[in-house]
Amino acid sequence: MQERELIEQIRNLVGENCQQVLQGIGDDCAVLKKNSETVWLVTMDTLVESVHFDASWHPPELLGRKAVSVNVSDIAAMGGKPCFVLLSLGLPAGFDHAWAKSLTTGITSGCRQYGCMLVGGDTVCSPEKVVLTITVIGEMAANKVLYRQGAKLDDTIWVTGNLGSAAAGLALFQKKEPQLLVTYKPFVQKHLDPRARVNLAEILAQTGLVHSMMDISDGLATDLSHLCQQSNVGARVIADQLPAHPLLAEAAKHCADDPLQWMVSGGEDYELVFTAPPRTEEALKKLARNHDFQLFPIGTIVKGNRVVLGKSADMKDDEQVISYQGFDHFS
Amino acid sequence: MQERELIEQIRNLVGENCQQVLQGIGDDCAVLKKNSETVWLVTMDTLVESVHFDASWHPPELLGRKAVSVNVSDIAAMGGKPCFVLLSLGLPAGFDHAWAKSLTTGITSGCRQYGCMLVGGDTVCSPEKVVLTITVIGEMAANKVLYRQGAKLDDTIWVTGNLGSAAAGLALFQKKEPQLLVTYKPFVQKHLDPRARVNLAEILAQTGLVHSMMDISDGLATDLSHLCQQSNVGARVIADQLPAHPLLAEAAKHCADDPLQWMVSGGEDYELVFTAPPRTEEALKKLARNHDFQLFPIGTIVKGNRVVLGKSADMKDDEQVISYQGFDHFS
């Protein structure tokens, strides 16, 4: 049984949304009515030691910040502003006090970074591994929420920054060659201490130009597949247009990895992927210039239900399906 | 380092509450301003396999219901109405699908039981043990919230039902004698499938008679100590007045355990403990009769910062301090 099947099963058990719930299971956040103009966004994510992080190389303070960032990124994914954080912290008996203190310092520093406040949670004994669950509550105008659903035929697909950097960082740590971590510091940084695109997301939501949005946590292929499935469309992504850090290809060589695979299937970049009609392209580019951030068009929403990767905008052959399964090998 | 120290450390890192936060870390729920009349209550609790439950005897459907109940109980602890639930479910690779399905059925049935709705969360791979984290969001009138702080000198201390039943249930399972589970079914039930006192809590909050309240999850001694610490008072609990199921003493004999220890230190009863001025005693008793529930006066708020257990109302000697450490042995 895969994660998607389990979630589908739970979703079926829940049934219809009630009036106060504008969005239940199935998007980056639940969307709850606060009043006629405002909604609350609620998200919850867990990081498990040895599944989601390696405590042997992840400095606890950065791990704490990351745990906040990955959750805040779900608020950004809908265009909201994060406000409140709850933390459930599972620590093994006899945990290292200095380590735990650094972790909690990182969590509160992460909260401050996004202007939100830790308001509650609990601490539990965990049998062996550290487990961090965080809930973030955000807020935004009800009529500006950007859902996964909403992508329209011919929409341009955009991403907000380089892809594959976090995957590169992880691969570099796994190589266990300290010099590589110095040479490729930007990737290391992205893996250890990613930033959620909150400000940019708020600006995008305000424009009213965007049809659908989500964050890239599980990799472009998987996350874009979610967006397409919920919008009942397909997508064609163009490999040549995917943005990458200039050192990505070189780092991939050192790791005997494929940089395109990192960009397409690597998770944890926490950039945003969104779609908007082609006529808004100039307006979005101008917005990016004015606010000093970058936006990259990477493909187009198409008919059907497949997400495919083509080599360039012109060549229609040589396409490969990358829906969910991620990217196996680009030939 | 104890749980309390770790929480204190986190609390110090967080600093002052902002205007929207009426209560941050330190009570059963965070209390957030929804509008001028209404607040949202938010709580989060984790259950870890082999720490908080034993999957070998806990039927998954009841475990799911219990996970919801223990969180909803925190909403009840402040007098609120539970509305929305988020679930983070950690399952080991290769988990039993039928077991997981029953668990999620239990979670949704638990939500329905309290009239609330599962709106989101996530699923993760856990290295070995099942981990269930639940967030519940509740709602109530801002001016009716019952905090831990607020207990006043001479207040009567009340509980809403039998104590020690859940501890008895746990002890009976640990004996591994199937016949005991049949004989003492009420305790088994309380351990496997406790109910949060939501309706009763809402009624109590509406009266305006109650000074302070919380739920009993970690045992009367520890939880009353929290309430006293935050109210800057002490408490005198009278052993003879503690309510118990008629079969408790007999069950304790079978387990070679002390029934008073179960009542004072046993956790997971999920009854409420609250304080109210002595002059309200008749009104509260009448309320209980009218609504067909039970309330038991068990002691008095006193000066100082200690929680003591006396044998009877009259005898002032023979008192034992039970603050936090729980109850070791009653002589």
Residue A124 CA to residue B133 CA, distance in Å, equals 11
DSSP calls for A183-204? HTHHHHHHHHS----HHHHHHH
What's the Cα-to-Cα distance from B40 to each of A293, B30, B81, B217, rounded to whole Å? 36, 8, 9, 21
pLDDT tens profile A124-181:
999 889 999 999 999 999 999 999 999 999 999 999 999 999 999 999 999 999 999 9
Q: Domain map of chain B by residue range? A: 3-144, 156-321
Residue A29 CA to residue A186 CA, distance in Å, equals 29
Report chain B residues whose CB lies below 8 A from the CB of A120.
24-25, 29-30, 42-44
Return the pLDDT at B72.
Answer: 98
Using a pLDDT cut of 70, give the percent of chain B over it.
96
What's the Cα-to-Cα distance from B140 to each of A181, B41, B80, B146, rounded to whole Å? 52, 8, 5, 10
Residue A268 CA to residue A170 CA, distance in Å, equals 10
HEC string of A239-262 equals: HHHCCCCCCHHHHHHHCCCCHHHH
Report chain B residues whose CB lies below 8 A from the CB of A97.
1
Please judge whether A131 and B126 are an interchain contact, meaning their C-beta atoms are less than 8 angstroms apart: yes
Using a pLDDT cut of 90, give the percent of chain A over it.
85
Please judge whether B117 and A43 are an interchain contact, meaning their C-beta atoms are less than 8 angstroms apart: no
Return the pLDDT at B233.
Answer: 98
Residue with tokens 């493909």: A299
Please judge whether B90 and A118 are an interchain contact, meaning their C-beta atoms are less than 8 angstroms apart: no
Report chain A residues whose CB lies below 8 A from the CB of B136.
none
What are the φ and ψ backbone dihedral angles of B194, each rounded to 5 degrees? -70, 155
Measure B199 CA to nearest chain A CA, in Å.
21
Lowest mean pLDDT among A141-145, A298-302, A313-317, B188-192: A313-317
In DSSP terms, A320 is beta-bridged to A309
Return the pLDDT at B323.
Answer: 83
In DSSP terms, A80 is beta-bridged to none
Return the pLDDT at A326.
Answer: 58
Residue with tokens 């870390």: B25
Instruction: Give the pLDDT mean for A86-97.
Output: 93
Using a pLDDT cut of 70, give the percent of chain A over it.
96
- Judge contact between B245 and B188, C-beta under 8 A: no
Residue B157 CA to residue B212 CA, distance in Å, equals 9
Measure A323 CA to nearest chain B CA, in Å.
20
A329 pLDDT band (50/70/90 cuts)? Answer: very low
Return the pLDDT at A50.
Answer: 92
Which of B10, B12, B137 is the mutation pick for testing A, counting most A CBs within 10 A? Answer: B10
Torsion angle of alpha carbons A258, A260, A262, A268, nearest 10°?
170
Please judge whether B127 and A25 are an interchain contact, meaning their C-beta atoms are less than 8 angstroms apart: no
Please judge whether A105 and B13 are an interchain contact, meaning their C-beta atoms are less than 8 angstroms apart: yes
Please judge whether B104 and A6 are an interchain contact, meaning their C-beta atoms are less than 8 angstroms apart: yes
Residue B155 CA to residue B110 CA, distance in Å, equals 34
Residue of chain A nearest B27, judged by CA positions: A120
Residue A78 CA to residue A43 CA, distance in Å, equals 11
Q: Rg (Cα) of chain A, in Å, rounded?
A: 20
Instruction: Give the pLDDT mean for A38-60.
Output: 95
- Judge contact between B117 and A21, C-beta under 8 A: yes
- Judge contact between B300 and B306, C-beta under 8 A: no
> Other C-beta atoms within 10 Å of B283: how many?
12
Facing A120 at nearest CB: one of B3, B29, B108 = B29
Q: Rg (Cα) of chain B, in Å, rounded?
A: 20
Whether the ipTM is more than 0.95: the answer is: no
Residue B214 one-letter amino acid: M
Domain formed by A3-143, architecture: 2-Layer Sandwich (3.30)
Q: Higher-confidence residue: A70 or A94?
A: A70
> Other C-beta atoms within 10 Å of A112: how many?
16
Residue B260 is encoded by which pair of tokens? 């008073």
Q: With H, G, I as helix, E, B as strand and everything else as coil, classify residue A267.
A: coil
Q: Is the pLDDT of residue A13 over 90?
A: no
The segments of chain B whose pLDDT lies below 50 read 328-331
Return the pLDDT at A330.
Answer: 40
pLDDT tens profile A211-253:
999 999 999 999 999 999 999 999 999 999 999 999 999 999 9
| DSSP H helical ranges for chain B | 3-14, 60-76, 97-113, 165-175, 178-183, 185-192, 198-207, 220-231, 248-254, 259-265, 281-291
Q: Which CATH class is domain B3-144?
A: alpha beta
Which of A11, A68, A119, A128 is the mutation pick for testing B, counting most B CBs within 10 A? Answer: A119
Return the pLDDT at B315.
Answer: 66
- Judge contact between A87 and A70, C-beta under 8 A: no
Please judge whether B44 and A135 are an interchain contact, meaning their C-beta atoms are less than 8 angstroms apart: yes
Instruction: Give the pLDDT mean for A190-205.
Output: 97
- Judge contact between B297 and B241, C-beta under 8 A: yes
Residue B272 is encoded by which pair of tokens? 């409420």
Residues 6 or more apart whose Cβ sits within 8 Å of residue A114: A68, A69, A72, A82, A196, A198
Report chain A residues whose CB lies below 8 A from the CB of B14.
108, 111, 117-118
Q: For residue B302, what is the enclosing H or E element?
A: strand B296-302
Facing B119 at nearest CB: one of A24, A107, A117 = A24
- Judge contact between A83 and A167, C-beta under 8 A: no
Measure B2 CA to nearest chain A CA, in Å.
10
Return the pLDDT at A315.
Answer: 66
Residue with tokens 């929207």: B20
Residue B298 CA to residue B313 CA, distance in Å, equals 9
pTM summary value: 0.93
Whether domain A156-321 has CATH 3.40.30.10: the reply is no
Residue of chain B nearest A89, judged by CA positions: B46
Residue of chain A nearest B44, judged by CA positions: A121
- Judge contact between A270 and A217, C-beta under 8 A: yes
Facing B46 at nearest CB: one of A6, A90, A95 = A90
Please judge whether A49 and B127 are an interchain contact, meaning their C-beta atoms are less than 8 angstroms apart: yes
> Other C-beta atoms within 10 Å of A161: how many?
20
- Judge contact between B51 and B126, C-beta under 8 A: no
Residue B253 is encoded by which pair of tokens? 């004999």
Return the pLDDT at A325.
Answer: 62
Residue B279 CA to residue A271 CA, distance in Å, equals 61
